[in-house]
């Protein structure tokens, strides 16, 4: 867990994971998941965010939070934009916090308070979704019909790969989320009180039954007979669900709209920020369920749900390869390439239009830079012979090369290949060296029993020039 005794200070370029929260409570839960907290870094004047810096094992993480009281899609997009402008090495983002659960009529999946929902690409009756759907963006049609338009990007491939690995592990092993939650409870009474599982019962009321006392912060006045009877779980550990998260610029407190989103989109959760990130900040969304998005909504489960989501995110990062993250493109590069491709589309269309009357074999397309107008052999875009990437020469390549083993991807001081102190060759240790050593003349290539040298090292007096059997001292 978190260590704060001796904070270390890294540079902006050392941070590769951008973790965004909407609430201070969520940011506090994220901080508790760090193994170490780092010193703060100076920021440019255009960046209004406040950050917490730290690491989880070898992952260096910068955590940002939305301004207090300023929530929603636009605020999330602004925070993400400022984060990536200050930290150019960010490879992917994480949107972690609380959300409202969308219960299923047939209890499949059986979503309860304290569970975790993770956004993943999903095919539903409404079509294919990248994991997050902005349900209030579209067209108002005749007869009161609302047609949703636009699509949001899927999470980055590196995170989807890590998710597959983690889900595979959970088929045969227990999740580590309860372990991380227990770690919070051991930190002290304040942390335990803010993020402990509530004693308040987990009640899901029928869709048509609304909260009785409007300004009440609990459901003590509500009729428990109107609660849906559900089978008790054999444990209180959070379950992890994967699917669609519905996002919009409004707080959801309507059970009928909630159920409609569940039927039409297959949504498992509703929230307010993710839609502002997906197309401008490649990320994965993780939500801890703190209510059922109905009139009975209250804050009793928020601390525990925030801790659940943060704990799962830590487990996911531990399953994510540091080497793959270092090799992945930065968010800045991904978005820059996306903008370039958009501009090139119109250029390519113009070239194709000008060559419309020319046979296909004369419509020259370079399969190196994907542009029309020249062949690959004529392409002016450089290719690095070291890492194979297009866009820079070998002498400009940022990928390290080990002078010891000659491999690309790490420095010499990080090399795992052993070096023999005896023969100075790489690939084995001195105790495994096949080259013989003569203790008489200190030469390599023969043993002392076959040594033919007349002069050598005397182990009796320690001098050079004679052997022990002819020593006169």
Shared domain for 386 and 251, answered yes or no, is no
For 35, phi and psi rounded to 5 degrees? -75, -35
Give the lowest-confidence range in 12-21, 326-335, 350-359, 436-445.
350-359
Judge if 319 and 388 occupy the same domain: no
pLDDT at 122 over 80: yes
Picking from 9, 69, 66, 64, the residue whose alpha carbon sits closest to that of residue 31 is 64
Residue 107 above 60 pLDDT?
A: yes
Q: List 122's β-bridge partners, or say none.
A: 129
Are 186 and 306 contained in the same domain?
Answer: yes
- Asked whether residue 130 falls in the same domain as residue 247, the answer is yes
- From CA 70, how far away is CA 65, in angstroms rounded? 10
pLDDT range class, residue 242, cuts 50, 70, 90:
very high
Domain boundary residue among 300, 327, 354?
A: 327
The CATH number of whichever domain residue 271 belongs to comes to 3.40.50.1580
- State how far the Cα of 114 lies from the Cα of 306, in Å rounded to an integer: 9
For residues 42 and 457, the model is more confident at: 42
Pairing type for strands 92-101 and 36-37 reads: unpaired
Q: Are residues 323 and 273 part of one domain?
A: yes
At 454 the pLDDT is 63
Residue 188 has pLDDT above 90, yes or no: no
Please check whether residue 53 lies inside any domain of the structure.
yes
Q: Is residue 373 part of a domain?
A: no
226 is a domain residue:
no
Give the model's pLDDT for residue 373: 66
Q: What is the pLDDT of residue 304?
A: 96
Tokens of 15: 């941070």
Show the tokens assigned to 401: 């090369």
Pair (131, 277) in one structural domain:
yes
Domain tally for the chain?
Answer: 3
274 lies in the same domain as 320? yes
Question: Is residue 321 included in any domain, yes or no?
Answer: yes
Highest mean pLDDT among 45-59, 140-154, 443-457: 45-59
Q: Does 396 share its domain with 461?
A: no
Cβ atoms of 71 and 88 closer than 8 Å = no
Are 393 and 450 members of one domain?
A: no
Domain that holds residue 469: 441-473
Q: How many CA atoms lie within 13 A of 33 on its CB side?
A: 34
Evaluate whether 135 touches 144 at the Cβ level (below 8 Å).
no
3-class SS of residue 245: strand
Residue 371 in domain: no
| Residues 249, 270 contacting (CB under 8 angstroms) | no
Mean pLDDT computed over 196-220: 85
Confidence band, pLDDT 50/70/90 cuts, at residue 368: low
Mean pLDDT for all residues in the chain: 83
In this prediction, residue 334 has a pLDDT band, given cuts at 50, 70 and 90, of confident
Same-domain pairing of 265 and 399:
no
What integer pLDDT is reported at residue 352 of this predicted model? 43
- Residues, the chain, total? 473
Judgement on whether residues 391 and 416 belong to the same structural domain of the protein: yes
Q: How far is CA 269 from CA 97, 370, 413, in A?
A: 12, 39, 46
Residue 3 domain-assigned (yes or no): no
Same domain, 420 and 313: no
- Of 107-111, 250-254, 266-270, 386-390, the range with the highest mean pLDDT is 266-270
Position 413 in a domain: yes
Residue 272, domain member (yes or no): yes
């Amino acid at each position: 867990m978190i260590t704060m005794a001796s904070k270390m200070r890294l540079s902006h370029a050392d941070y590769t994971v951008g973790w965004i929260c909407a609430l201070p409570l969520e940011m506090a839960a994220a901080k508790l998941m760090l193994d170490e907290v780092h010193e703060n870094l100076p920021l440019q004047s255009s960046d209004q965010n406040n950050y917490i810096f730290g690491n989880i094992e070898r992952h260096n993480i910068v955590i940002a939070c939305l301004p207090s009281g300023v929530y929603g899609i636009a605020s999330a997009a602004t925070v993400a934009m400022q984060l990536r402008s200050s930290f150019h090495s960010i490879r992917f983002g994480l949107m972690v916090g609380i959300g409202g659960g969308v219960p299923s009529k047939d209890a499949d999946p059986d979503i309860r308070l304290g569970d975790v929902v993770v956004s993943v690409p999903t095919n539903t009756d409404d079509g294919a979704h990248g994991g997050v759907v902005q349900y209030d963006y579209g067209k108002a049609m005749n007869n009161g019909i609302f047609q949703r338009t636009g699509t949001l990007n899927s999470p980055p491939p590196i995170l989807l790969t890590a998710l597959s690995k983690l889900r595979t592990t959970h088929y045969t092993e227990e999740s580590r989320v309860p372990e991380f939650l227990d770690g919070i409870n051991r930190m002290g009474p304040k942390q335990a009180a803010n993020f402990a599982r509530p004693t308040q019962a987990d009640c899901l009321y029928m869709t048509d039954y609304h909260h009785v006392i409007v300004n009440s912060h609990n459901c003590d006045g509500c009729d428990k007979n109107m609660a849906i009877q559900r089978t008790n779980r054999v444990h209180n550990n959070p379950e992890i669900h994967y699917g669609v998260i519905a996002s919009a610029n409004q707080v959801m407190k309507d059970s009928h709209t909630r159920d409609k989103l569940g039927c039409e989109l297959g949504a498992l959760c509703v929230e307010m920020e993710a839609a502002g990130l997906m197309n401008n900040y490649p990320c994965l969304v993780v939500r801890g369920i703190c209510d059922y998005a109905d009139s009975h909504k209250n804050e009793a489960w928020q601390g525990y749900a925030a801790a659940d989501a943060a704990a799962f995110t830590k487990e996911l990062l531990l399953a994510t390869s540091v080497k793959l993250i270092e090799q992945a493109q930065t968010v800045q590069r991904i978005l820059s390439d996306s903008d370039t491709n958009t501009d090139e589309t119109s250029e390519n269309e113009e070239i194709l239009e000008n060559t419309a009357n020319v046979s296909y074999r004369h419509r020259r397309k370079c399969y190196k830079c994907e542009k029309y107008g020249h062949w690959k052999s004529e392409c002016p875009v450089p290719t690095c012979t070291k890492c194979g990437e297009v866009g820079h020469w070998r002498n400009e390549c940022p990928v390290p090369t080990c002078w010891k083993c000659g491999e690309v991807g790490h420095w010499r001081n990080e090399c795992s290949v052993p070096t023999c102190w005896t023969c100075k060759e790489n690939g084995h240790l001195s105790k495994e060296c096949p080259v013989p050593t003569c203790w008489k003349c200190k030469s390599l290539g023969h043993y002392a029993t076959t040594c033919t040298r007349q002069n050598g090292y005397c182990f009796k007096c320690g001098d050079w020039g004679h052997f022990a059997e002819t020593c006169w001292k």
